[in-house]
Amino acid sequence: MLSFHSCGCCRVSTSTAFHFQFRTLPSSSLFLYATSYKFRSTTASAGSGLTGHSDSDGDRKLNFSGVRLEEAVDSTIGSAKLRLDSWISSRINGISRARVQSSIKSGLVHVNGRVVDKASFNVKAGDQIKCTIAELQKLRAVPENIPLDIVYEDEHVLVIDKPAHMVVHPAPGNTSGTLVNGILHHFNLPNVEFSKDESLSDTEDSDDEVNSYGSMTSSYEGSHSILSMSSIRPGIVHRLDKGTSGLLVVAKDEHSHMKLSEQFKQRTIKRVYVSLTAGVPTPVSGRVEVPVGRDRNNRLRMTAVAGPANSRNARHAASRYRVIEILAGGSCSLVEWKLETGRTHQIRAHAKYLGVPLLGDEVYGGTKSMVLSLLRPRTPISLHGKIVQMVSRLDRPCLHALTLGFQHPHTGEQVHFSCEPPVDFDEILSQLRKIGSENVSFSKRSNF
């Protein structure tokens, strides 16, 4: 049985095995200052089609503001259905589909002389398309003295235990109180002003393989300079959902960011999550390889759809899971997850696909009413009041990034970090154990 507690000790190890006894590495007092932080300008890829405009130094910025497209849809598409946003994205080299969608919604796209504000509009051969790309929305990240739970820090990397309810980076609706605001203060960096990349909106602040940002500008003592998309996160390599707690690594220099990003791309990063699910998955251990894509009916939600990747804009996604403990007579379970890929909301979508949404996950079916309907029949009457109170306090998906392992970008050493679930997770787990607890034997586990 895994018995979680909330202490902050013993969280670092050079072992890659999954356990809860770790040797502690020496803590570091090194801090990153603005004068030593390295930035470089980004360049847009060359190629056919329209691109963003050039700087005076010849570098291209990923800024398509004001770019105009006036063209007829080629007859080669035949009778196939083709979305308006897809067609425009294919005609402007390097632009994101989200940026095109924003321009369409702003009424800046005409089809055969009429304004069309639906990105899903189907174009056909011969349609005359006129499009102007909307101006980028500017956002600013200001250093804020936000306490950070630092698990490990040296001169190259920073590993943080992100609390639940904290957004990783600023976005419309979340411009302060984010992890980036806290990191800017911790690193003694100035304000950062950047262009909103719609693909990283506040509804998509979640774990994905490699983080990417729109062009950013730092303002310091009135000066402005173009900074690297890959280095002015500052250093964010991957993300966690707003509601997810746990481990996240930050790069403190460009070399570290590049090396860590490569490990995410090559899928050599070792990550283990734990969750509390509504129900028990069948079988109790297994591998889910089901593509994950945006839900067509609810843009706040991803969906796992069986079938080939890239169909319905879904991307290949694979997760391994195993049940650690069956709770409350089978109404809930403690489940461990290992990510082979890192898609937006991957664990949450795969858990729903298995029929066991995470407790507290209102978006994916783990609603309070659903959890109560499972617990009440299996709970002694004497505990009904406590269960109702527990469920009423569910205010996030019960998901925690428990361990994180990677090759140190400078030393080459395999490092492994662990951070136990926070108090809210532990309290819910304790309440469920009072109703009933059954360990799952190792003989029932496989492929993990």
Assess whether pLDDT exceeds 90 at residue 98. Answer: no
Interval 352-370 mean pLDDT: 96
The pLDDT value given to residue 194 = 65
User: pLDDT of 68-84, one tens digit each?
Assistant: 999 999 988 887 889 99
Interval 123-148 mean pLDDT: 89
What's the CA gap between 434 and 332, in Å, rounded?
12
The pLDDT value given to residue 225 = 27
In whole numbers, what is the pLDDT of the chain averaged over residues?
78
Confidence of residue 12 (pLDDT cuts 50, 70, 90): low
Assess whether pLDDT exceeds 60 at residue 395. Answer: yes
The pLDDT value given to residue 407 = 98
User: pLDDT of 243-277, one tens digit each?
Assistant: 999 999 999 988 898 899 999 989 999 999 999 99
Question: Do 412 and 294 touch, CB atoms closer than 8 A?
Answer: no
Query: Which comes out higher in pLDDT, residue 50 or 135?
Result: 135
- Indicate yes or no: pTM above 0.85: no
The pLDDT value given to residue 254 = 83
The pLDDT value given to residue 28 = 28
User: pLDDT of 405-430, one tens digit each?
Assistant: 999 999 999 999 999 999 999 999 99
% of the chain residues with pLDDT over 90: 56
Helix (H, G, I), strand (E, B) or coil at 110: strand
Give the contacts of 352 (CB within 8 A, at least 6 positions apart).
304, 361, 364, 365
Neighbours of 68 (CB within 10 A): 11
Q: Domains in the chain, please, with CATH?
A: 12-25+267-444 (3.30.2350.10), 34-40+138-249 (no CATH), 68-132 (3.10.290.10)
What's the CA gap between 52 and 204, in Å, rounded?
25
> Torsion over CA of 70, 71, 77 and 81, rounded to 10 degrees?
30
Detail the DSSP E strand segments found in 165-222: 191-195, 216-220
Assess whether pLDDT exceeds 80 at residue 51. Answer: no
Highest mean pLDDT pick, 42-56, 192-206, 238-252: 238-252
Assess whether pLDDT exceeds 70 at residue 67. Answer: yes
Nearest CA to 400 out of 328, 340, 348, 363 is that of: 348
Task: Kindly report which listed range (3-17, 67-81, 190-204, 371-385) carries the lowest average pLDDT score.
Answer: 3-17
The pLDDT value given to residue 55 = 37
Assess whether pLDDT exceeds 80 at residue 180. Answer: yes
The pLDDT value given to residue 224 = 28
Interval 187-216 mean pLDDT: 52
Assess whether pLDDT exceeds 80 at residue 376. Answer: yes
* Catalytic residue positions, numbered: 241
User: pLDDT of 15-32, one tens digit each?
Assistant: 333 332 222 233 222 222
Assess whether pLDDT exceeds 70 at residue 444. Answer: no
What's the CA gap between 263 and 48, in Å, rounded?
31
Question: Do 419 and 402 touch, CB atoms closer than 8 A?
Answer: yes
Report the first-to-last Cα separation within the chain, whole angstroms: 17
Half-sphere exposure of 94 (CA within 13 A, CB side): 20
User: pLDDT of 222-237, one tens digit each?
Assistant: 322 223 333 344 488 8
Confidence of residue 345 (pLDDT cuts 50, 70, 90): very high
Q: What angle do CA 176, 177, 183 make, to 5 degrees?
A: 100
Pairing of strands 399-407, 245-251: parallel
Residue indicated by tokens 């996950």:
361
The pLDDT value given to residue 175 = 80
Confidence of residue 447 (pLDDT cuts 50, 70, 90): low
Confidence of residue 46 (pLDDT cuts 50, 70, 90): very low
User: pLDDT of 292-313, one tens digit each?
Assistant: 998 877 777 899 988 766 555 7
